[in-house]
C-alpha cells in the first residue's frame, strides 16, 4: 500500500515551461543559445516562450490544486538568479520563485526544487562549463543563495537532474550543448558535477536548512538479450557505464574500481584528488531520485559497429552501439514501444529500484520522472490520452509492489503536469496531464489522464492493481 504521506506529484523543468527567456534581468543559458542554431531542434523550436509558465504560473498552480496534486517538482533557472552564472543576484528572479513557491503553498502543494536541469549560464560555458572547477564553485554559490532565499519554505531539494544524459549527449553524442567531441572531457565534467553536488550538500547542512537533499539520475537497468556469456557480459558493462559510475559516488562516496580502470585504459579517466574523494564520502545524499522511462536490452557488439551521431539517434531508441563500443541496445520483438521507439517495460522500474536497494541499502527513493511521450488523440475537442493512463497505471502497480516488498519509495512525480517543450523534439512529443494549445494562445485543457490521476490521488492509489 502507498503510505499516507506519499507524495503524489508531477514535474517540469524551467527551460521547458517558463519562457520569458530574456525578461526581468534573466541571462542567457546554453540552451537559449544552442536552440537557435539551425537544424539542432525539431522544426527550430526553442524555449523563448515555451508554455509561458512564467506569466501563467497562477493558472497552472490552480489546475494542480483542482487535480489535488500533493507536490510539484520544478527547476530553478540559474540565469534568473545569476544572469552571468555568478556575481550580483537578480532580485526579480528571486521574486518569481518566491511567488511560485507561495502560490503552491497556498494550495498545500509541496514544492520540490531541482537546482540544475541542464540550463547552464552561457557565460560559465565560455570559461569551460562543467570541465571547470570555477563552475563547480559558482554552482555552490548559486545553491547557497537558493537555500537562503527559499529554504524557510522548501524542504525537498535536488541538486542535479540526469548527469548521465547531459554529459553523454554533450560530450559523446554532441546532440546537446556544448557539443564537444571528447569522452575524456565528458568524464572530467561528470566528476566535477559530483563534486558540485557534494559541495552543495555540505552547504545545505552547514547552513542548517531543514529538510532533505539528494540528486536525480536516470534509471535504465540493463538486461542481456540472451543467456550467452557475451550478452551477459555486455549487460554488466552497461550497468557499469550508466549505473555504477553515476550512482556510486553519490551513494557510496567512491568510484567503481573496475570501471575506473576501464577509463584509465581508454585514456578517459578524470583527475580525482584525495580531498575530493573525502568530500564525496562525507556528503552523501539523503535520498536518490530516479527518472525511469525504459530499460536497456543489450547484446555484445560482435560486429564492432560504430556509433552514429545525430539528433534522431540521441533520443533513446534502440539500435546504436554505446559510445564506448562495448554493447548495443537492441529491440525485444515481444515488447511494446512508444512512437519514439522507447520500450514500455514497467518491470524495469521495479527491478531498477531493487538493484538500488541491493547495492546501496535502504536509501529513500523518489520517482522524480516517469511518463509517456505521445501524440495525443483529440476527438470532438476531448484529449483522449488513454495510452498515458495505461502507461502510468502499469508503472504505479510496480511501485505499489516495491513498497510492499520493503523498498522505501516516498513519492511519484509524473512527467509532466502540462505539455511542454521536449528539448530536441519540440512540442510534437506530449507528456502532460494538461494539453497546451499552441494554435490558440497556449490555452490549457484537461486531458482524460488529468481526471484519472485526480482519482488516483484522492484514493491514495487504492485502485492501482
Q: pLDDT digits over 53-96, tens only?
A: 999 999 999 999 999 999 999 999 999 999 999 999 999 999 99
| Active-site residue set | 369
| Lowest model confidence (mean pLDDT) among 38-52, 197-211, 274-288 | 38-52
The structure's pTM equals 0.96
Instruction: For 215-229, give the DSSP string.
Output: EEEE---EEESSSSH
pLDDT of 41: 87
CATH number at residue 100: 3.20.20.80
pLDDT of 386: 97
- SS3 category, 172: coil
Q: Report how far apart, in Å, the C-alpha atoms of 393 and of each of 11, 278, 400, 418 are.
A: 17, 42, 10, 18
* Domain-embedded: residue 463: no
Give the orientation angle of helix 274-282 with respect to helix 183-206, to 10 degrees: 50
* Domain-embedded: residue 389: yes
385-427 pLDDT, tens digit each: 999 999 999 999 999 999 999 999 999 999 999 999 998 888 9
Degrees to nearest 5, angle at CA 151 with 283 and 453: 95
* Domain-embedded: residue 192: yes
* Of residues 235, 220, 219, the one with CA closest to residue 299: 235
| Lowest model confidence (mean pLDDT) among 68-72, 257-261, 330-334, 451-455 | 330-334
Strands (E), 67-163: 71-75, 110-116, 156-161
pLDDT of 309: 55
pLDDT of 112: 98
Q: Structural domain tally of the chain?
A: 1
Average pLDDT on 162-170 reads 94
Predicted confidence (pLDDT) at residue 135 exceeds the cutoff of 90: yes
| Model confidence band, residue 340 (pLDDT cutoffs 50, 70, 90) | confident
* Domain-embedded: residue 137: yes
| Model confidence band, residue 124 (pLDDT cutoffs 50, 70, 90) | very high
Residues 6+ apart with CB under 8 A from 280: 194, 195, 198, 249, 250, 253, 254
Average pLDDT on 188-207 reads 98
* Of residues 161, 249, 157, the one with CA closest to residue 201: 157
In the chain, count of helices (H) and strands (E)?
16, 17
**Do 151 and 203 meet the contact criterion of CB atoms below 8 Å apart?**
no
* Domain-embedded: residue 356: yes
302 or 332: whose pLDDT is higher? Answer: 332
pLDDT of 465: 85
Residue 209, CA atoms < 13 Å, CB-side half-sphere = 26
* Domain-embedded: residue 66: yes
* Domain-embedded: residue 78: yes
Cell of 95: 521574486
Tell the residue number behind the cell numbers 558535477, with chain if given: 193
276-331 pLDDT, tens digit each: 999 999 999 999 999 999 999 999 987 666 666 555 555 556 667 677 778 889 98
- The torsion angles phi and psi of 291, rounded to 5 degrees, stand at -105, 115
153-164 pLDDT, tens digit each: 999 999 999 999
Residues 6+ apart with CB under 8 A from 358: none
Average pLDDT on 173-180 reads 91
Percentage of the chain beyond pLDDT 90 is: 88
* Domain-embedded: residue 119: yes
Cell of 70: 500533493
Predicted confidence (pLDDT) at residue 45 exceeds the cutoff of 60: yes
pLDDT of 43: 85
139: containing domain = 7-458
Average pLDDT on 207-234 reads 96
Amino acid at each position: 500500500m502507498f503510505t499516507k504521506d506519499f507524495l503524489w506529484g508531477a514535474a517540469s523543468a524551467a527551460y521547458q515551461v517558463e519562457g520569458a527567456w530574456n525578461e526581468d534581468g534573466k541571462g542567457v543559458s546554453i540552451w537559449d543559445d544552442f536552440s537557435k542554431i539551425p537544424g539542432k531542434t525539431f522544426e527550430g523550436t526553442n524555449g523563448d516562450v515555451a508554455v509561458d509558465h512564467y506569466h501563467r504560473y497562477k493558472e497552472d498552480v490552480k489546475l494542480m490544486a483542482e487535480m489535488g496534486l500533493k507536490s510539484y517538482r520544478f527547476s530553478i533557472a540559474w540565469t534568473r538568479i545569476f544572469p552571468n552564472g555568478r556575481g550580483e543576484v537578480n532580485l526579480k528572479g528571486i521574486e518569481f520563485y518566491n511567488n511560485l513557491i507561495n502560490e503552491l503553498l497556498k494550495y498545500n502543494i509541496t514544492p520540490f526544487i531541482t537546482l540544475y536541469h541542464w540550463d547552464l549560464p552561457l557565460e560559465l560555458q565560455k570559461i569551460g562549463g562543467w570541465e571547470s572547477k570555477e563552475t563547480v564553485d559558482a554552482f555552490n554559490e548559486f545553491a547557497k543563495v537558493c537555500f537562503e532565499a527559499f529554504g524557510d519554505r522548501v524542504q525537498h531539494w535536488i541538486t542535479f537532474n540526469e548527469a548521465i544524459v547531459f554529459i553523454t549527449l554533450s560530450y559523446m553524442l554532441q546532440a546537446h550543448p556544448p557539443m564537444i567531441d571528447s569522452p575524456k572531457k565528458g568524464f572530467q565534467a561528470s566528476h566535477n558535477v559530483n563534486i558540485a553536488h557534494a559541495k552543495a550538500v555540505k552547504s545545505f547542512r552547514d547552513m542548517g536548512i531543514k529538510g532533505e537533499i539528494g540528486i536525480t539520475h536516470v534509471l535504465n537497468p540493463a538486461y542481456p538479450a540472451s543467456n550467452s556469456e557475451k550478452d551477459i557480459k555486455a549487460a554488466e558493462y552497461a550497468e557499469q557505464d550508466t549505473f555504477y559510475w553515476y550512482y556510486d559516488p553519490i551513494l557510496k562516496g567512491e568510484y567503481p574500481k573496475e570501471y575506473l580502470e576501464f577509463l584509465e585504459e581508454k585514456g578517459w579517466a578524470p583527475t580525482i584528488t584525495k580531498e575530493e574523494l573525502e568530500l564525496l564520502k562525507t556528503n552523501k545524499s539523503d535520498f536518490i531520485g530516479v527518472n525511469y522511462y525504459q530499460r536497456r536490452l543489450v547484446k555484445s557488439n560482435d560486429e564492432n559497429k560504430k556509433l552514429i551521431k545525430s539528433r534522431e539517434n540521441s533520443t533513446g531508441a534502440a539500435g546504436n552501439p554505446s559510445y564506448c563500443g562495448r554493447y548495443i541496445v537492441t529491440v525485444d520483438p515481444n515488447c511494446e514501444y512508444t512512437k519514439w521507439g522507447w520500450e514500455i517495460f514497467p518491470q524495469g522500474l521495479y527491478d531498477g529500484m531493487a538493484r538500488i536497494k541491493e547495492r546501496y541499502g535502504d536509501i529513500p527513493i523518489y520517482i522524480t520522472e516517469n511518463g509517456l511521450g505521445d501524440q495525443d488523440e483529440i476527438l470532438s475537442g476531448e484529449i483522449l490520452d488513454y495510452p498515458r493512463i495505461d502507461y502510468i497505471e502499469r508503472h504505479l502497480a510496480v511501485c505499489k509492489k516495491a513498497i510492499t516488498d520493503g523498498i522505501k519509495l516516498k513519492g511519484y512525480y509524473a512527467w509532466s503536469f502540462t505539455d511542454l517543450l521536449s528539448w530536441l523534439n519540440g512540442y510534437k512529443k506530449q507528456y502532460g496531464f494538461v494539453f497546451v494549445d499552441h494554435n490558440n494562445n497556449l490555452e490549457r485543457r484537461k486531458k482524460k489522464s488529468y481526471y484519472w490521476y485526480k482519482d488516483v490521488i484522492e484514493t491514495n492509489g487504492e485502485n492501482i492493481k
